[in-house]
Amino acid sequence: MNKSIFLSVIFHIIIISLTAISFPYMIRKPIDLPPIISIELIQISDFTNIPYAPKAKKILEKIKKEKERVISEQAPPKIVKKEKPDAIPLPKDAKKKKKIKTKKQNPKKIESEIKQVSEFEKKELFDPDQIAALIDKSKVETAETIRKSDKLTQNQDKNFIASGLTLSEEDALKAQIFGCWSIPLGLPYNENLLVRIKLKLKTDGTVIKSEILDHVRMNTPGQGFYKVLAESALRAIRLCQPLRVPTIGYDRWKDLQLNFDANEMLKG
């Protein structure tokens, strides 16, 4: 009886001790996650607005400081050159000054760095431990692209206003001509059914002169359909005139080119 109790206790102790040794080892395994997940996060961050991570702030500041240091080391020491070699406290002042400057310039400098980062540099920067920093960069990048795109659209608008009709003006004109153009239904589907007509307009939208740009096709053998199509387009212009053109900016639209394309309608 005592023997069996003794053996049982010993076996229990062995089992418990083995469990105590092996259990933490078993627990560790699932914790040891590969950093692949972090890569996924970075990619998603390019398209979503992940909230600013407070931990990332600290890492970011560290990175900034490192970079600042690098920048300050690489920067041409113009000021240092001007400094007198005898003046000992100057480097401290200079460092302070630099620090102050870098603090002020911090965000701008980061932006400029991001702009200049090449694909290779990005790869070098990529590190699972610096996810937050990259997230932040992506924010800056998106902000940059938004600013850039804003600038672009403004420019486009300016160009559009300077050289063309506004969308609403164009739509009004199109809608008017759509209603006037009776497309000849017998045209061959597999041919080029584009007729380009250049117009010279009066201020009230009446046509002074109309010119078919591909006039040669009118008398080309095997292109008889083109004559029919061109005539239908001219009929549409005549039927529609005066064209619905803007009341202002005559110089912009006094010459107009209408491209009548029956392909879309006939092919369906």
Partner 1 sequence: MKNVLFLIFLLVVFFAKSSFALIEIDITRGNLNPLPVAVSPLYVESKSSEVLKELEVGSEISKIIETNLLRSGLFNPLEKDSFVQKPDIAHLKPRFEDWKLIKAQALITGKVKITDDKLRVEFRLWDVLAAKEIMALAFTTVPDNWRRVAHIITDKIYERLTGEEGYFDTRIIYVSEKGPKNRRIKKLAIMDQDGANTKYLTLGNELVLTPRFNPTNQMVTYMSYFRNLPRVYLLDIETGVQEVVGEFPGMTFAPRFSPDGKKIIMSFAKDGNSDIFTMNLETRVVERITEHPAIDTSPSYSPNGKYICFNSDRSGYQQIYIMRSDGSNVKRITFGQGIYGTPVWSPRGDLIAFTKMYKNRFYIGVMRIDGSGERLLTENYYQEAPSWSPNGRVLIFYRETKSGSQGEGFSATLWSIDLTGYNERLIETPTDASDPSWSSLLSN
Question: Which position among 110, 131, 132, 165 is part of the footprint of partner 1 (CB under 8 A)?
Answer: 165
Q: Cis ω on the peptide bond leading into residue 242 (within 30° of 0)?
A: yes
d(CA 257, CA 209): 12
For residue 124, count other CB atoms closer than 10 A to its CB: 10
Candidates 21-29, 42-50, 62-70, 257-265 — which segment interacts with partner 1 by CB under 8 A?
257-265
Closest separation in Å from C-beta 207 to partner 1: 11
Here's the x/- map for partner 1, 199-238, by CB under 8 A: it reads as -------------------------xx-xxx-xxxxxx-x
Q: How far from chain centre, in Å, is Cα 98?
A: 35
Closest separation in Å from C-beta 148 to partner 1: 24
Find the largest Cα–Cα distance for the chain. Answer: 124
Under the binding rule (CB under 8 A), the answer on residue 39 touching partner 1 is no
Closest separation in Å from C-beta 242 to partner 1: 14
Q: Hey, which residues does 11 pair with through a beta bridge?
A: none
Under the binding rule (CB under 8 A), the answer on residue 261 touching partner 1 is yes
Question: Which position among 41, 46, 90, 184 is part of the footprint of partner 1 (CB under 8 A)?
Answer: 184
Residue 200, SS3 per DSSP? strand
Candidates 24-32, 38-46, 99-107, 176-184 — which segment interacts with partner 1 by CB under 8 A?
176-184
- DSSP 8-state secondary structure symbol assigned to residue 207: E
Nearer to partner 1 (CB atom), residue 63 or residue 258: 258
Closest separation in Å from C-beta 144 to partner 1: 30
Phi, psi torsion values for 186, nearest 5 degrees: -90, 10
- DSSP 8-state secondary structure symbol assigned to residue 40: H
Nearer to partner 1 (CB atom), residue 18 or residue 265: 265
- Contacts of residue 252, defined as CB under 8 A and 6 or more positions apart, other chains included, come to 163, 164, 165, 246
d(CA 19, CA 84): 72
Q: Which residues contact partner 1 (rule: CB under 8 A)?
A: 162-165, 170, 173-174, 177-189, 198, 224-225, 227-229, 231-236, 238-239, 251-253, 255-265
